[in-house]
Amino acid sequence: MSMVNGFTPDDAARLTEQERRLVERRERLLGPAYRLFYERPLHTVRGEGVWLFDEQGRRYLDAYNNVASIGHCHPRVVEAMHRQAQQLNTHTRYLQEGILDYAEQLLGTFPSDLDRVMFTCTGSEANDLALRMARHYTGGTGIIITQFAYHGVTGDVAELSPSLGRGMVLPSHVRTVRAPDAYRLGADNVSALFEADIKAAIQDMQAHGIRPAAIVMDGIFSSDGVLVGPAGFMAAGIAAAQAEGLLYIADEVQPGFARTGLNMWGFMRHGVQPDMVTLGKPMGNGQPIAGLVGRSEVVDCFGRHMRYFNTFGGNPVSCAAGKAVLDVIQEQNLQQQSHAIGGYLLEGLSRLAQRHACMGDVRGAGMFLGVELVTDRVTRQPAAEQARKVVNSMREKGVLISASGPLENVLKIRPLLTYTQEHADMLIEAVDTAMADIG
Ligand code: PMP
């Protein structure tokens, strides 16, 4: 499977001797499934705040990594982990207060009916657990996802991830619906299309004797091409699915933890009520911690019949990291900052689109932005090659973004939540000059 912004062996001529040796060693030791970003892969050795540094000491403005969302190597997180690692690091089969303090604080950010939390190490595990719970609760197997979804790497959730590549054949219990492509389908249409697609998917499952269990949606539709969608568009479709007995699993691995602006959770933009929410990536700012938040009725139904133990999930060091992240977001009001700087970026990039004809659509919510490149604004012909060039040109200029989407033509921009206006200006300027470079 190729990757939009991926290094290929054809690019090897651009590498220094040292880089070539590292690439060869990786391939020999790790095999071909791993991918590197950029035509000239970046050899990172250090991170601090919004910056990544390469082995020569050159700094790069990070506008991509939503794991270190509150800043690389954040001192509060490092200190919390260090303190806890010196004291105790075991698992969830002993009484400990840290996990409970964190659980209370985390649940406090959700609507009150989402009142249980369980901890895992990765977003994939959280989605996998959510699927098991949905199937247990409903007695069904059928799942609805979007056409170019990504939900993770376990066997079950890879089957819900058509964006993994042509090798990923969808099983018979999975149905897809269109993502909210306001640019190509029309902003006014996406809500009705979403609802109609969901109803059709449910009917089709029933016609084939498949009992539906859940609808799983990444609320920012990241792998589908950063299809933010108009606020509220999901409400009718999700309500229709829930009326048919499906559980709604909001995959917040991408949009969660203030990424989409004022709301802590992406689903809140749409006024929908998930039955389960899965969390990951920025939850520990780099420490592997992820989790599932759900309605007690669903979580307890599973727990009464099945025990769950995840050796590293919810360990004291991970919980200390998670708590430090939440403290920083709340104390520094990063939701407000994500909203304000994200809005500033959206405006700045939209202004650039008036000058660069190739920028067909600029969209975003908070600090998650997509710029769709086209070769022709009327026909909206996707400009995948130009997207690749812009991403690589920006990397050379010291600003890190990537590209995504089924048409491989969407610049994917996820600045750190701690960006100031000065960082935003640097990012806008880098997009401007990279767009000018490709003509
Ligand atoms: N869901 C979504 C929407 C994701 O983007 C990802 C990771 N890219 C996952 C789930 C899986 O998370 P992890 O890589 O931590 O298993």
> 123: Cβ below 6 Å to ligand 1?
yes
Instruction: Work out the burial of residue 276: count CB atoms within 10 Å of its CB; fewer than 13 is exposed, 13-18 middle, 19 or more buried.
Output: buried
- Angle (CA) 390 153 138, round 5°: 125
Rounded Cα–Cα distance for residues 162 and 156 (Å):
12
Residues of the chain with pLDDT > 70: what percent?
99
Residues 111-170 pLDDT 10s:
999 999 999 999 999 999 999 999 999 999 999 999 999 999 999 999 999 999 888 889
How high is the pLDDT of residue 13?
A: 81
> 152: Cβ below 6 Å to ligand 1?
yes
Ligand 1, pocket-test mutation among 160, 218, 253, most atoms within 8 A of CB = 253
Hey, what are 439's tokens? 């003509």
Give me the mean pLDDT over the 280-307 stretch: 97
How high is the pLDDT of residue 248?
A: 98
> 150: Cβ below 6 Å to ligand 1?
yes
Residue at 108: amino acid letter: G
pLDDT(271) > 90: yes
Rounded Cα–Cα distance for residues 86 and 259 (Å):
32
pLDDT(1) > 60: no
C-alpha of residue 119 to centroid of ligand 1, in Å? 15
Ligand 1 atom with least separation from CA of 218:
3
C-alpha of residue 152 to centroid of ligand 1, in Å? 5
C-alpha of residue 160 to centroid of ligand 1, in Å? 12
Q: What are the Cα distances from residue 175, in Å, to 138, 189, 218, 223, 406?
A: 17, 21, 15, 17, 17
How high is the pLDDT of residue 9?
A: 75
pLDDT(194) > 90: yes
Ligand 1 atom with least separation from CA of 127:
10
Residues 347-390 pLDDT 10s:
999 999 999 999 999 999 999 999 999 999 999 999 999 999 99
Q: Please, what are the domains in the chain?
A: 1-40 (no CATH), 42-70+334-438 (3.90.1150.10), 75-331 (3.40.640.10)
Positive or negative, the Cα torsion across 276, 338, 229, 381?
negative
How high is the pLDDT of residue 424?
A: 98
> 146: Cβ below 6 Å to ligand 1?
no
Q: Whose CA is nearest to atom 12 of ligand 1?
A: 123
Ligand 1 atom with least separation from CA of 157:
10
Rounded Cα–Cα distance for residues 31 and 27 (Å):
5
Residues 75-84 pLDDT 10s:
999 999 999 9
Give me the mean pLDDT over the 94-115 stretch: 98
Residues of the chain with pLDDT > 90: what percent?
93
Average pLDDT, the chain: 96
How high is the pLDDT of residue 7?
A: 85
> 251: Cβ below 6 Å to ligand 1?
yes
Hey, what are 226's tokens? 């950063």
Give me the mean pLDDT over the 15-23 stretch: 91
Task: pLDDT band for 8, please (50, 70, 90 cuts).
Answer: confident
